[in-house]
Each structure stands twice: as structure tokens, then as C-alpha cells.
Amino acid sequence: MNRHSSYWVFLVHRLSGIALALFLPVHFWALGDALQLDALLAWTEQPLVKFSEWALVVLLAAHLGAGLRVLALEFLPWRDWQKGLAAAAAALTLAAGLAFALAL
Amino acid sequence: MSALAVEVWRGGAQGAFQSFEVPRHPSQTVLDVVTYIQRSLDATLAYRFACRVGMCGSCAMSVNGVPRWTCRTHVDKVARENKLVIGPLRNLPVIRDLVTDMRGFFDKWARAKGSFAGTKTKRDDFARVAPDSADRRKVDAGIECIGCGVCYSACDVVAWNPDYLGPAALNRAWTLVKDERDVVKHERLRAVAGDAGCHACHTHMSCTERCPMGLAPTAAISGLKRAVLGSVLKGEL
């Protein structure tokens, strides 16, 4: 019933936040394992890991974009451009995803 | 014209959808459909309406899962493959069929200190509020609420936390916080600052999306959040 852009942004914000929180232990584990950095870097050359890195960047961008939207809603004198905010969050995510895919 | 397949909720909290076949007409509203069912097919159907022109706010129902004023919703706009599912508003106890008990909804307006408190009496002169002042414009933006309950029914936070004051009550509180004649602002901010108040809003904006008056309770709620923070920083709360 809540099929509208602001609700989708809320869902993306929440789900990306949960996914990033789940990733954090892996991140720390990889940092803790950095003594074997060369082995780790070799491991990250695998396509599946590359794809995961890309997904991670997209999640981060989505979470950032949606977070900026909430800040704008809470602190700026908006009235009629909330759909523009949702679009801006989506655009930021897309841009970061494309940029990182190009850089891979 | 072709017929419309309509599923209508029957019963209270426990109940089931009942199927009806209703003739289609040009410019038919969902309220016309419900009225046809009650007058021609099943006189025991319970529903509410009064003005039929979007002024009283009593005919709100859930139409295909979305809360709407049925009197201002054309069947053409919402029917999918000639089908309609009509139920009572979500987040409110069902009395019978399409009629909900709205006491909890209005009790929350009282809990949010939604009544004006001034100092002047009828013997005093009119208060003069500049129509173009910043605060008066903020009041104008939220004051046209007619209490239909559509926003309250659309809000997931109300569904998750039944104590949550909800968009309409918070919007009302905001219009009074910005009313320069009102004298109980701190009490009101305290009333809306708790766990079940403005800070519980998740910014889904379903209230703003669904409000038939085009109001933005989300803007009111974010205004309350800032007002509460400002008062706390000044040591007033």
C-alpha cells in the first residue's frame, strides 16, 4: 500500500544500513588480517569479490544519499520537492555505482 | 456499462471480504459504489459518510489497500481490471464493516495538546496577526486538516507503535506551536517530545503522500523536532 518514492527511499536506507552493519565484522576481519595483505589483495582480484566491492560502494552511496535526504527534510524549509530529494538520492547512488564500475 | 467486482469487508476485527457486483457508471465514485451496495444489494452494510463533497472527512476507507476519501475517489482512477477491494481504515479498531472507532485518533489530538490556549477573552479586541509573517504562513500550510484519519491510517509508525500520536495530531500541535497567540507552547512541546511523539517519525512520508488536502504532516513533524531541540538547548524544556 505504501508504494511511493519516499517509502522506497526509506526501505533502501534501512536495508542498506543493515547490510553495511553486517559487512562491518568482515571489514574488521580483513583489516586484522592485513599482515597477509598480498594474499588478501590477490583474493580481491576474483570477479565475485570485485562484484561484491561494487555492491558495497552502491550500498554506501545509497545509504549516504538517503541519509542526506533525511537531513534535508529535517533541517531545510522544504515543502514541494520531496520527490526531488528521493530522485537526488537515487541519482547519487547510480552515479557512484557507475563511477566505481568504470574504475574497476 | 460493464460490472464492477467489489470485495467489501464485513464484520469487525474478525471478518471476511464479501463479493458484490456493481454496475459501472461514468464519473462513479467509490462512495457511489458503497452506497449502491447498501441501498440495492445488502441493507445491513455499515459505512459512514455525510457531505459527499470532500468537506466533512467521514467517508475515508481503504480502497485497494490505500486510504482515501471515497467521495472524492473516482472508480476509474483506482479500479484495477474492474475490481475494487474496500475495507475499513487501517490502524483503527473496526466497529462493523467499513466503520472504524475514531476515538483513539482524536484522543491523541488531546494528548498532543491540540487545543488552543490563549489569554484574551471575548471582551478583548481581536488579536492582529500579520498574514504574511513567517509563523502565520507555517500555520496556514497545516491548518486545513479536516480530521479524516487518512494520514493516520497510512502511517506505518502508528501500526508499529500504537501509542504514536500520529501525523494529524502532530500537525495540529505544530499549527498551535506557530500560533503567536497561544500560551502553552512549552507544555505542548513536552507533550509531543516523548517516545511516541514527533521523534518517532521515520520520514516515510506516507501521510504527506496520501493527505487528500495536500498537507504535509512530515513538514510539521520535522518542525516540531527542531522546535523541541531549540527549546531543550535554551533550557526551556
Which stretches in chain B have pLDDT values below 70?
1
Report the percent of chain A where pLDDT is more than 70.
Answer: 89
For residue B206, give how far its alpha carbon lies from the nearest alpha carbon of chain A (Å).
Answer: 7
Cβ-defined contact of B204 to A1 (cutoff 8 Å): no
- pLDDT value at residue A78: 66
DSSP string over chain B:
--EEEEEEEEESSSEEEEEEEEE--TT-BHHHHHHHIIIII-TT-----S-SSSSS---EEEETTEEEESTT-BHHHH-BTTEEEEEPPTTS-EEETTEE--HHHHHHHHHTT-S---S--TTSPPP---TTSHHHHHHHHHTT----SHHHHH-HHHHH-TT---HHHHHHHHHHHT-TT---HHHHHHHHSSTTSGGG-----HHHHH-TT---HHHHHHHHHHHHHHHHHTT--
**Domain residue ranges of chain A, discontinuous segments joined by +:** 5-103
Per CATH, the number for A5-103 is: 1.20.1300.10
CATH topology assigned to domain B3-100: Ubiquitin-like (UB roll) (3.10.20)
- pLDDT value at residue A1: 65
Specify the DSSP class assigned to residue A7. Answer: H
Q: Do residues A36 and A75 touch, judged by C-beta distance below 8 A?
A: no
Check pLDDT > 90 for residue A40: no
Q: Which of the residues B66, B150, B204 would you substitute to probe the A interface, choosing the one with the greatest number of A C-beta atoms within 10 Å?
A: B204
* pTM check: above 0.90: no
Q: Which helix (H) or strand (E) holds A22?
A: helix A5-32
Buried b / exposed e across A47-69, counting CB within 10 Å, b at 16+? eeeeeeebebbbbbbbbbbbeeb
- pLDDT value at residue A53: 87
Cβ-defined contact of B209 to A7 (cutoff 8 Å): yes
Cβ-defined contact of B226 to A74 (cutoff 8 Å): yes
For residue B178, give how far its alpha carbon lies from the nearest alpha carbon of chain A (Å).
Answer: 15
> How many Cβ pairs within 8 Å bridge chains A and B?
45
Q: pLDDT band at A89, cuts 50/70/90?
A: confident
In chain A, what residues touch B62 (CB-CB under 8 Å)? Answer: 1
Place of cell 535554551: B234
**Domain residue ranges of chain B, discontinuous segments joined by +:** 3-100, 103-233
Cβ-defined contact of B209 to A73 (cutoff 8 Å): no
- pLDDT value at residue A35: 67
For residue A74, give how far its alpha carbon lies from the nearest alpha carbon of chain B (Å).
Answer: 5
CATH topology assigned to domain B103-233: Fumarate Reductase Iron-sulfur Protein; Chain B, domain 2 (1.10.1060)
User: Quick one: how far is CA B5 from the chain centroid?
Assistant: 28
Residue B234, judged by CB atoms within 10 A of its CB (0-12, 13-18, 19+), counts as exposed
In chain A, what residues touch B154 (CB-CB under 8 Å)? Answer: 1-2
